[in-house]
Amino acid sequence: MPLRADAARNRESLLAAAITEFAEQGMDAPIAAIARRAGLGKGTVFRHFPTKDDLVGAIVLDRIARLTAAGERLSTAADAGAALLEFMTTAAQERERLDLSVLQGDLGAEVAAAQTRMSAVIDALVDRAREQGAVRADITGADVMLLMCVPNDVVKHLPSGAPDLWRRYLAILFDGLRPEGAHPLPVPPPS
Amino acid sequence: MPLRADAARNRESLLAAAITEFAEQGMDAPIAAIARRAGLGKGTVFRHFPTKDDLVGAIVLDRIARLTAAGERLSTAADAGAALLEFMTTAAQERERLDLSVLQGDLGAEVAAAQTRMSAVIDALVDRAREQGAVRADITGADVMLLMCVPNDVVKHLPSGAPDLWRRYLAILFDGLRPEGAHPLPVPPPS
DNA sequence: TAACAAGTTGACCGCGCGGTCCGTTTCGCG
DNA sequence: CGCGAAACGGACCGCGCGGTCAACTTGTTA
């Protein structure tokens, strides 16, 4: 049986409220604040997401799905280096900034599967870029996976002010991924 | 009146316990756990540090002081580029990993002052490196200040396993700071 | 429009945390 | 020694959180 109409609407409100609340207040924002922001009762949140982790999981799942779709769309671009850069830009500019530190906790098999799928897409993106000589030979998809959230994380500590500053650090980081002037890396990539 | 002998000893035990506990369990490790690890009572912690923030502040202060000293020592090295790299290495390899996100909360004027002093040292380091052409012309001390904690942060999300992986990402990041093959940056540096 | 299921609500519970307090222990000095 | 002050310990308090529940409201469907 599908969701009732108002319930579906409320579910979306809740997700939106949670996304902005988490972005503004950090990942330990109280559920009550999310409910208030959505103009709903606290109990309603738990009806849709039995656990706070379920709520976070739903958000993360959506984010990963979007990113995966973007990656797939870019995986056939002519300029693989530009495609990779655009992918990382997309990853960084998602308004719904939620620190990926959240992925350390187990969000369930669904999230893990989505993550694996995204990982494959990133691998493809990086492989093509490497073949075209757009990025250095010694980096892998796993590297990009770890590094793509850096620009946001760097800026998050700031009291803010410059909302576009992450672009600066993405540019610096990406220059570090280019083959020109690359120095050998002291440690092999992770699994 | 100076501290009593056992009190001074206990203070050190507490700081050490807090550092490792925070590193292992994250910044919201309970005070009780720190006390237990130090083999002391919870009340003793609050006698030395009236507030959890005071404890964190003491640790951060010490960390900043160490880093500042290391920076000063390096500020006269012949090869300014190598000096900057070594500084960032020192910053990253501190066993006492505590995410600098903690600096967003106000830890008091003392910490702020120490931070300013460190900022000046980093500025000097970066300026010299730039003059020697070891780093690109368009980065500043503020950039390095923001970026130097990246290698640790990147690896922290991992279930661990490779304790030296941060070196890999420091190398990539530093390659992004070099002048060779640098692309223009889209956004000016922060204040 | 009647009637039932699906959805909503906010008061409520338990827990774990930061922080307090006072009886007890320990240091250090004459 | 012995004594006073400094330091310690852990039971205790209040608060804010995640999560529950039973009474109430509302969409849906025939």
Structure confidence at residue B50 (pLDDT): 98
Quote the distance between the C-alpha of residue A163 and its chain's center: 17
Q: Which residues numbered 93-112 in B keep a CB inside 8 Å of some CB on A? A: 100-101, 103-104
The pLDDT score that the predictor gives to residue B29 is 97
Task: Report CB contact under 8 Å: B154, A157.
Answer: no
CATH H superfamily, domain A1-50: Homeodomain-like (1.10.10.60)
Average pLDDT of the residues of chain A: 93
Closest chain B residue by Cα to residue A159: B104
* Integer angstrom CA distances of residue A115 from A112, A118, A123: 5, 5, 12
B99 versus A177: the higher-pLDDT residue is: A177
CA distances from B113 to A7, B71, B87, B118 (A): 52, 16, 20, 9
The 3-state DSSP class for residue A191 equals coil
Determine whether the interchain pair A104/B173 forms a contact, defined as Cβ–Cβ distance below 8 Å: no
- A157 vs B103, B157, B187: nearest CB: B103
How confident is the model at residue A102, as a pLDDT? Answer: 63
Which pair of structure tokens corresponds to residue A126? Answer: 């990086």
Q: Does A94 or B97 have the greater pLDDT score?
A: A94
Report the chain A residue with the minimal C-alpha distance to residue B176.
A176
Mean pLDDT value of segment A16-42: 96
Nearest neighbour of A167 by CB, restricted to B143, B158, B186: B186
Q: Is B169 near strand D, with its CB below 7 A from some atom of it? A: no
A137 Cβ nearer than 7 Å to chain D strand: no
Query: What pLDDT is stored for residue B103 in this prediction?
Result: 67
pLDDT of A100 > 70? The answer is no
Nucleotide D26, nearest residue via CA and C1': A6
Span of A25-29, A122-126, B107-111, B130-134 with lowest mean pLDDT: B107-111
Same fold, A1-50 and A51-191: no
* Whether CATH 1.10.357.10 fits B52-177: yes
pLDDT profile of chain B (191 residues), mean per 10: 95 97 94 98 98 96 95 98 98 71 76 95 98 98 95 83 93 98 96 85
Residues B123, B144: Cα–Cα separation, whole Å: 9
Question: Quick check: A33 contacting B, CB < 8 Å?
Answer: no
pLDDT the model gives residue B108: 87
pLDDT at A95: 59
Tell me the pLDDT tens digit for each residue of A36-90.
Answer: 999 999 999 999 999 999 999 999 999 999 999 999 999 999 999 999 999 999 9
Do residues A100 and A145 touch, judged by C-beta distance below 8 A? no
Question: Distances in Å between the alpha carbon of A59 and those of A107, B76, B123, B143?
Answer: 11, 50, 40, 31
CATH of domain A51-191: 1.10.357.10
A-B contacts at Cβ under 8 angstroms:
117
Q: How many residues does chain A have?
A: 191
Amino acid making up residue A17: A
| Cα gap A14→A153, rounded to integer Å | 25
Residue A25 predicted with pLDDT over 70: yes
**Residues of chain B neighbouring A146 (CB-CB closer than 8 A):** 154-155, 157-158, 169
* Vertex A132: Cα angle to A173 and A121 (nearest 5): 70
Domain ranges of chain B: 1-50, 52-177
- CA distance, residue A4 to nearest chain B CA (Å): 38
Contact between residue B177 and residue A172 where contact means Cβ atoms under 8 Å apart: yes
Angstrom distance, A48 CA to D25 C1': 18
Q: CB B51: neighbour CB atoms within 10 A?
A: 10
- What does the pLDDT look like over A128-142, one tens digit per residue? 999 999 999 999 999
Q: Is the pLDDT of residue A22 over 80?
A: yes
